[in-house]
Amino acid sequence: MKSGQNWDAAKTRKFQRRLLRWYEAHRRALPWRHNPTPYRVWISEIMLQQTQASTVVPYYDRFLKRFQDMKSLARASEQEILELWSGLGYYSRARNIHKAAKLIIKEHGGVFPSEIKTIRSLPGVGRYTAGAICSLAFNKPEPVVDGNVRRVLCRLNGIKGYVPESRYWSQMSALLPRGEASSFNQAVMELGAMVCAPLKPLCPHCPIRDFCRAQKLGIQSASPAVRKKQVSERLQLVTLVLQQHDRILLSLLDESSFIPGKWGLPFRIMQGGESAQEAAAALCKKVLGRAIPLAHCAQVSHSISRYRMVIFGFCGNVDFNFPPMQRARSYRWMQPLSNKGPITSSLFHKVLQKHRVLRQWAE
């Protein structure tokens, strides 16, 4: 990447002014842009990782309404946080937010650190997120580089193919206007999201098309080399809806489980060649210690991170005392709740919604 670095000061400043004026006039009214405190910027940037802004907005609003500051977030249980995160995916992000909040309370007196090195040491914070927090919240001259920024820079320089990551960061550093890092970084990202799109860039509407080598060379497809997509792992699961009067049985989820939350329906991954009925019967015997009649009551699809799943739900009635004393910590009977219950994952809610008697559990 050379063109941006070879501009003289006058051309660089003209480019900066053009882009900043466009951003001021056309930026989206996203909630984290209002009152961009370090806490609000941090939460938004973690949520925006691997997730589109339009998807994040309602989750962000609910999260900030419940956890208005670092103290309330640090004091919350992981279960509460995962309940509000449910549906966003990549649940390690939510767990890292919780860990970081506790660390900031303990080591920084609840004040979000302003030094990039310290910010990068927080759980779940990498180079991009640290740069975003420093520039957007503290207006420090730190660059940011995400997919949108890479695409804008590649087209600006007329490059199609691989570019070392360090070059993106060095060019963004060179282009940052003094005292306006926050607006400039957001302007480049906004341009990539709204105008300099991956497949059909809106070049006639681009405020910096006069500076764009790809436009001059007629290579609008110029863009960074695309990383190979992570291969999705396809799974088949069975889950049990075990009833006793007006209660259903919940199982304590393993902390290492890819399904979020503390409690859920008993489930297991099906093995190759195993039918759903066979897997459900084996799971039932493992959970209850004996077999009971089971009926197929649901089939749903669900995705969590890289997992693409088909879930088969089986219902049954338990007419004996369960769980025994030695297993009471792992299982519990719960009555339907009108609002929030102990079940966090929308996977289990989908199964319950398929059963007309149990819909009240999933509302």
Catalytically annotated residues = 45
DSSP assignments along 281-326, one per residue:
HHHHHHHHSS----EEEEEEEEEETTEEEEEEEEEEE--S--S-GG
DSSP assignments along 36-67, one per residue:
--HHHHHHHHHHHTTS-HHHHHHHHHHHHHH-
Residue with tokens 């799943």: 309
Amino acid code (one letter) for 68 = Q
Q: Please give the C-alpha separations between residue 139 and each of 31, 36, 117, in angstroms, as whole numbers.
A: 18, 10, 16
Task: Retrieve residue 189's tokens.
Answer: 């990202």
DSSP assignments along 126-141, one per residue:
-HHHHHHHHHHHH--S
Residue with tokens 């509302």: 363
Strand 233-244 with 247-252, pairing: antiparallel
Strand 247-252 with 263-264, pairing: antiparallel
Q: What values do phi and psi take at 14, rounded to 5? A: -60, -45
> CA 167 to CA 161: how far, in whole Å?
13
Contact 211, 157 (CB under 8 A): no
Residue 238's H or E segment, with its range, is strand 233-244
